[in-house]
Amino acid sequence: MIYQTIKILTLFQKLESFSIRRMVSAESIGKADLVYWRARILFLLIFTGLFIGLFVMIPVTILAVKQKMWGLLIFDVLVWLSGVGLIISRRLGYWLRAGIVLLAMYGVGLVVILSVGPLSGGPAWLFAFAVLVSVFLGLKAVLVALSLNTFTLAVTSWLMKTGVYGHTFPFFSSNAAMVSAGANFMLLNIMVALAVDVLVRGLVSTHQKEMALTGALEQEHVRLLESKSKIESEIEERKQTEELLKTSEKRYRFLADNVADNIWTMDMNLNFTYVSPSVKRIRGYSPEEAIAQRIEEIMPPASYEIATTALVEELDAHGKGQKPPERPRKVIVELYCIDGSSVWCEVEANFIYNSAGEPSGIIGVTRDITERKLTAEQLLRSEKLATLGDMVAGVAHEISTPLSVGLISASFLADKTEEFETLLASQSVSSPEIAKCAQKIKEASTMVMSNLGRAADLLNSFKNVAVDQMVEGKRRFNIRSNLEDTVNSLRPKYRRTDHSIIINCPDDLEIESFPGAFSQITTNLIINSMIHGFENQVRGTILINIEKTTDNLVYTFRDNGKGMDEITMNKLFDPFYTTKRNRGGMGLGMHVVYNLITQTLQGRIEFKSELGVGTEFIITIPVDMYTIKC
């Protein structure tokens, strides 16, 4: 029995939830607001009416069949089915369902009054109508409902009193009794309707406050449990941390004192606060001697400028919020040793941040790279010689054609000269013959001069490039001439292709710098585009653009080749990384470019690439190191 009851209650709750979801929004259900509770009351009212109506339908059906009152039967069935529709309909909202139910109640009351008279159950229906309006629609609607009830009772009573209709219905014995009964009825109706409205609103408000309080208590309970667990965990972690800290400090001191690289710290005034013992192996000083030195005392002015410039840039990036705290800065500087010599070192450093996230010191690692730098310089010279070897082969091939044409033209010129002399000696030469012979001699001379001039231009471009790349001196030179000489020397590599190179550069732009470095950078970038960027590409275009700004000289190199994938971009400047090793590639071209820009020219290089679109390099050279003269 209990199981059956629970099962029925479960089905009832499912039906109620199903119907309410079709009346109101999920937000109202979640908040359990006034509309939600009104919908629940409306469902109970409709369900109760349907449940009772189901039992009433049995005798009504029997009576209708016996008396053949088919209209009444059809009406009752339609009313009952309408109630079912109000429960399960998806399209009807809460307000429309409530309005339909309330209008049905009012209609029943009106029909009963018109059929039996006001001293019947009709006023009870009107009474319930006003009360339920206060429940379902609120205060404003209940005022309208009460006014409607007053009007309905007044009109029907007047009609009966005047004998227009219902003169056989039981009625009040006097007008005073009628007015008194009507006034009492309406007063009671008003009091109950308003009281119900206030009661519903109060109950819903109380329920919502109770829910909010319950939710707050649950959250507070969860928070207290989390706080308790966190405090217990923190206490345990603090104990473990203290033990680990002691162990870690001993281990750190051991590593710092025995690692080959020199570990150091300094404050923001650039005073050393700690130097590991390995400084003696690198520079010959003891840690105590090294701590006492100022940063400007341990390196040449050029290296000091590199270090302080990097520090200023990092501080500026931090101030602008552009520096990730975990990103170190790496520079290559020259450091003095105790014996008067110097070593080249790679210094990688980062800020030490305080609790407010502001730099309070600097920690760094110094690594001796003298041998590596010498190896890199040897590789650079090898790369230059390899490039010059390719250029020699190409130029030799290019020069052979104009020299061969010039030689043939010279031989032809000699023959024509001898023929001309023979004509003159015969003293029978005519003017047309002299003119014809002179014209051929002139054409042959022009061809000789043209081809020899072409060969001379090629040789001159090759000489300029070769001298600049092998002689690393700093001098004043014209950038456009340097670019054109370099491109001309590389022309044999792409002369038989549809590739083109466009140079945008002022004709009179000159700088004090290293022409060999510029030429080597241009050479390696062009060769890189020809071999990698334009692979399997019929027509490619390279654009070289030179601009001067207030503080910098900007060299932009762009091609429309196949671009690079993410792996290649991440390793582009790594030494010995190449995608063409099976075709003889050494992987030093872009590494040489990076070193020339960052070390020789003290500039920076950035690039972006997209597969199928091309690659762009932006080289920026600080103007304070090179005086631009236009």
3 state SS for 155-174: HHHHHHHCCCCCCCCCCCCC
Q: What percent of the chain has pLDDT over 90?
A: 7
Q: Are 353 and 360 in contact (CB under 8 A)?
A: yes
pLDDT of residue 158: 78
Residue tagged 């119907």 (tokens) = 19
Angle at 271 between CA 265 and CA 272, to 5 degrees: 35
For 265-287, what is the mean pLDDT?
89
Q: Which is more confidently placed, 35 or 389?
A: 35
Q: Are 278 and 263 in contact (CB under 8 A)?
A: yes
* Range scoring the smallest mean pLDDT among 18-32, 273-287, 526-540: 18-32
Quick check: is 239 in a domain? no
Residues 332 and 412 in one domain: no
- Among residues 311, 600, 305, 288, the alpha carbon closest in space to that of 469 is found at 600
Is the pLDDT assigned to residue 32 strictly greater than 80? no
Quick check: is 240 in a domain? no
Paired residues of 503 in beta bridges:
544
pLDDT of residue 618: 94
Quick check: is 242 in a domain? no
Q: Read out DSSP for 448-471?
A: HHHHHHHHHHHHHHHHHHHHHHH-
Is the pLDDT assigned to residue 305 strictly greater than 80? yes
Is the pLDDT assigned to residue 471 strictly greater than 60? no
Q: Are 192 and 146 in contact (CB under 8 A)?
A: no
Helix (H, G, I), strand (E, B) or coil at 320: coil
In tens, the pLDDT along 482-495 reads 888 888 877 776 77
Residues 39 and 60 in one domain: yes
Residue tagged 């010689």 (tokens) = 385
424: pLDDT confidence band, cut at 50, 70 and 90?
low
Residues 399 and 272 in one domain: no
pLDDT of residue 558: 94
Residues 547 and 589 in one domain: yes
Q: CA–CA distance from 613 to each of 29, 528, 544, 606, 608 (Å)?
A: 55, 16, 17, 17, 11
What's the residue count for the chain? 630
Single out the residue in 336, 368, 400 at which a domain terminates.
368
In tens, the pLDDT along 599-622 reads 778 888 999 999 989 999 999 987
In tens, the pLDDT along 182-192 reads 677 777 777 77
Q: What is the CATH number of the domain that holds 593?
A: 3.30.565.10
In tens, the pLDDT along 107-159 reads 777 777 777 677 777 788 788 888 878 777 777 877 888 888 888 888 877 77
Q: What is the CATH number of the domain that holds 294?
A: 3.30.450.20
Residues 270 and 129 in one domain: no
Taking the C-alpha atoms of residue 218 and residue 98, their distance in angstroms, rounded to an integer, is 36
Q: Are 482 and 518 in contact (CB under 8 A)?
A: yes
415: pLDDT confidence band, cut at 50, 70 and 90?
low
In tens, the pLDDT along 324-354 reads 877 888 888 889 999 988 888 889 899 988 8
Taking the C-alpha atoms of residue 334 and residue 101, their distance in angstroms, rounded to an integer, is 94
Residues 415 and 525 in one domain: yes
- Top mean-pLDDT range of 49-53, 311-315, 597-601: 311-315
- Among residues 626, 620, 627, 625, the alpha carbon closest in space to that of 302 is found at 625
pLDDT of residue 584: 47
Helix (H, G, I), strand (E, B) or coil at 376: helix
Q: For 347-366, b where at least 16 C-beta lie within 10 A, e where not — what string?
A: bebbbeeeeeeebebbbbbb
- Among residues 450, 426, 275, the alpha carbon closest in space to that of 365 is found at 275
Quick check: is 148 in a domain? yes
- Among residues 533, 499, 535, 528, the alpha carbon closest in space to that of 593 is found at 528
Residues 324 and 379 in one domain: no
For 466-473, what is the mean pLDDT?
50
Domain count within the chain: 3
Q: Give the neighbor-by-neighbor strand order of the sheet with 359-368.
A: 272-275, 262-267, 359-368, 342-353, 329-336
Quick check: is 110 in a domain? yes
pLDDT of residue 502: 92
Single out the residue in 368, 402, 437 at which a domain terminates.
368
541-548/500-504 β-pairing: parallel
Quick check: is 3 in a domain? no
Tokens read off for 625: 């190191």
Tokens read off for 487: 């491109």
Taking the C-alpha atoms of residue 204 and residue 130, their distance in angstroms, rounded to an integer, is 20
Residues 481 and 352 in one domain: no
Residues 269 and 175 in one domain: no
Q: Are 483 and 505 in contact (CB under 8 A)?
A: yes
Residues 120 and 29 in one domain: yes
Q: Are 354 and 360 in contact (CB under 8 A)?
A: yes
Taking the C-alpha atoms of residue 159 and residue 497, their distance in angstroms, rounded to an integer, is 110
* This prediction's pTM: 0.38
- Among residues 370, 587, 596, the alpha carbon closest in space to that of 468 is found at 596
Residues 346 and 425 in one domain: no
Q: Which is more confidently placed, 623 or 507?
A: 507
Is the pLDDT assigned to residue 625 strictly greater than 50? no
- Among residues 199, 18, 16, 22, the alpha carbon closest in space to that of 97 is found at 22
Q: Which is more confidently placed, 382 or 113?
A: 113
Residues 143 and 199 in one domain: yes
Q: What percent of the chain has pLDDT over 70?
A: 68
pLDDT of residue 467: 45
Is the pLDDT assigned to residue 543 strictly greater than 90? yes
Tokens read off for 234: 């923190």
Taking the C-alpha atoms of residue 109 and residue 120, their distance in angstroms, rounded to an integer, is 9
Q: Are 38 and 135 in contact (CB under 8 A)?
A: yes
DSSP 495: T
DSSP H/E element including 184: helix 175-258
Helix (H, G, I), strand (E, B) or coil at 585: coil
Q: Are 249 and 257 in contact (CB under 8 A)?
A: no
Q: For 432-449, b where at least 16 C-beta lie within 10 A, e where not — what string?
A: eeeeebeebbeebeebbe
Quick check: is 70 in a domain? yes
- Among residues 509, 512, 514, 520, the alpha carbon closest in space to that of 546 is found at 509
Paired residues of 272 in beta bridges:
266
Quick check: is 102 in a domain? yes
Q: Are 499 and 530 in contact (CB under 8 A)?
A: yes
Is the pLDDT assigned to residue 355 strictly greater than 80? yes
Q: Which is more confidently placed, 463 or 190?
A: 190
Contacts of 471 (CB under 8 A, 6+ apart): 516
560: pLDDT confidence band, cut at 50, 70 and 90?
very high
Single out the residue in 368, 392, 410 at which a domain terminates.
368
Helix (H, G, I), strand (E, B) or coil at 265: strand
| Chain Cα centroid distance, residue 469 | 44
pLDDT of residue 178: 67
Domain with 153, as residue range(s), is: 14-217
pLDDT of residue 555: 94
**How does the average pLDDT of the chain come out, rounded?**
76
pLDDT of residue 51: 74
Q: CA–CA distance from 164 to each of 133, 170, 327, 357, 534 (Å)?
A: 31, 14, 99, 94, 106
Taking the C-alpha atoms of residue 404 and residue 452, their distance in angstroms, rounded to an integer, is 10
Q: Are 609 and 564 in contact (CB under 8 A)?
A: yes
